[in-house]
Amino acid sequence: MVHNYVVFVSVFIVTTVAQQHPIVSPFVQALHPRGLKFVVSDDNYTMVNIYGSVNQEIPKFQPGHLHLCSIRKPKKTSKSKAWVLRDNTVSLKIGDRVYFWLSVFKDDKEIRKMNEEFRVYHIYNEDGSKHINNPLLEAEPDTDVDACLNRECEDSWTEVQGRVAICKGNLVFNEDFSKAKSGLKNWTPEVYFPEGPDYPFNVYTVGETYNTVNGKLVIKPLLLDNYYHEGMVFEELDLTKICTGRLDTTECERRAGGASILPPVMTAKVTTRQRFSFKYGRVEVRAKLPKGDWLVPEINLEPRSHTYGNGRYVSGLIRVAFSPGNSAHARTLQAGPVLYSERPFRTALVREKVGSEEWYREYHNYTLLWNREGIKVYVNGENYGAVAINRSLVDQAKAQGVPADYADRWTSGTQLAPLDELFYISIGLRVGGSNDFPDDPGKPYKNHEIKAMLKFWEAKDKWLSTWEDASLKVDCVKVYAV
């Protein structure tokens, strides 16, 4: 029988940056009764990843899907420093082939070694001796195998609601969207009319606005009039029976009147709020952003408890990847914390990278590292910004027009307030609204004006024609302990 497995092994540590050299191919060993061991020579790397599969070539840059184990980190006292990385769940036999590639981080830059291959000629015991197979004496190994030996569990800053004993480098959340929509147990769809502080022109619904297609989460916009009937934007919509917003408010029921119309676009938003919340970690998302005027991708971390308040992002919002769908703005990628609704402080802590082409053209790997020192953001392995979170934020916020009674709330928390609480993952698609788009020529409405949504709808013929590939597509979401 041919065994097919996907293997991913990772360890993340902090060390001193030194002179850079090419990656040396790792030493690989198949173990009895189960296991696969990689030994990677150290060159003062800050992170080492190995992605691979058994008897199946792995697509370029694709991640693995099994539980991760960090067995041993390089020791300063050793003359031959190396990472030892293992997956303890795979059972190998003579003749199996392991296809893999390496990704290491050094000086905040990613270095890759592609198209590596290892063929199993021998199976080894844990003591390093060759294992001699005797079918008369051997039985199948137990199927319930501990995926992590945790011989050396390095303490982690990461906290996960409902979990204890987390080791640095552990994979604490993994979603590849391989199941049907009904099987997405980690995610709960939101159903409500979003309001302040950004007042977008969409309503979050279920049904045709999101699905899983070929192992990807796909969120697409639909016109309200197309889904119901022409003129629906001038009528009423009651979501009370399925609403996840505040009942008996305009988050769950709307009635049009005068210049106040219903949100003309239906989209979706799913979150891990009911299943997974965490504090500090490395978040990795592979996604293709939407193309189309006034489309706003949402790949965020949101606060679970809103410890510092509910309005104007006073309890924080962390963007993992943000780039509007307008061609004029789509070469600028942004990520980082948003702690106030209005500029200039809204974008004061956000970091930007201008690409050579629009970010919506291809899938990209977006990474956000959040720890007790602050936040670093990456795209395709390249670091493009860092944010220190400390008490100076209070004075910085006040200097940029944030009311004192708003900013002073953070002094009740730790040095990292408001980003010192549990957050959950949210993925969605917004349309228009205030604050994300400056009032430039060509924009059909002005921020905060009463008729903004109506003017947007009246300009439908201009923006709808640009929605050629308007869906947000997400391939996978992973969170590692740090």
Which ranges of the chain have pLDDT less than 50? 1-2, 6-20, 66-68, 134-151
| Parallel/antiparallel/unpaired status of strands 123-124 and 27-31 | parallel
Task: Encode pLDDT of 92-137 as tens digits.
Answer: 999 999 999 888 877 767 788 888 999 999 999 887 888 876 443 3
**Dihedrals phi, psi of 124, to nearest 5 degrees:** -115, 150
Whether the CB-CB separation of 99 and 18 falls below 8 Å is answered with no
Residue appearing with tokens 């053209």: 361
The β-bridge partners of 123 are 30
> Cα separation of 206 and 190, whole Å?
8
Q: Domains for the chain: give ranges and CATH numbers.
A: 5-152 (2.60.40.2140), 181-480 (2.60.120.200)
Whether the CB-CB separation of 433 and 198 falls below 8 Å is answered with yes
Q: H-helix or E-strand containing 120? A: none
> Cα separation of 184 and 383, whole Å?
31
pTM above threshold 0.85:
no
Number of H helices, E strands in the chain: 5, 31
Residue appearing with tokens 């360890």: 11
pLDDT at 80: 67
The β-bridge partners of 426 are 271, 300
pLDDT at 67: 47
Rg of the chain taking only CA atoms, in angstroms: 25
pLDDT at 428: 98
Between the alpha carbon of residue 357 and those of residues 98, 260, 361, 404, the distances in Å are 35, 37, 8, 41
Residue 456, helix vs strand vs coil: helix
Q: Is the peptide bond before 297 cis (omega within 30 degrees of 0)?
A: no
Q: Spell out a b/e string for 403-433, using b for 16 or more CB atoms within 10 Å of the CB, else e.
A: eeebbebbeeeeebbbbbbbbbbbbbbbbbb
Q: H-helix or E-strand containing 454? A: helix 452-458
Residue appearing with tokens 């001699």: 132
The β-bridge partners of 60 are none
HSE-CB for 100 with a 13 A CA cutoff: 26
Residue appearing with tokens 């050579």: 356
Q: Can you read off the two tokens belonging to residue 55?
A: 């008897």
Give the closest residue to 52 by CA, choosing from 92, 112, 5: 5
Between the alpha carbon of residue 354 and those of residues 1, 321, 379, 397, 471, the distances in Å are 50, 13, 11, 26, 22
Residue 157, judged by CB atoms within 10 A of its CB (0-12, 13-18, 19+), counts as middle
Task: Encode pLDDT of 421-476 as tens digits.
Answer: 999 999 999 999 999 999 999 999 999 999 999 999 999 999 999 999 999 999 99
Give the single-character DSSP code of 63: -
Give the single-character DSSP code of 418: T
> Cα separation of 254 and 200, whole Å?
14
Residues in the chain: 482
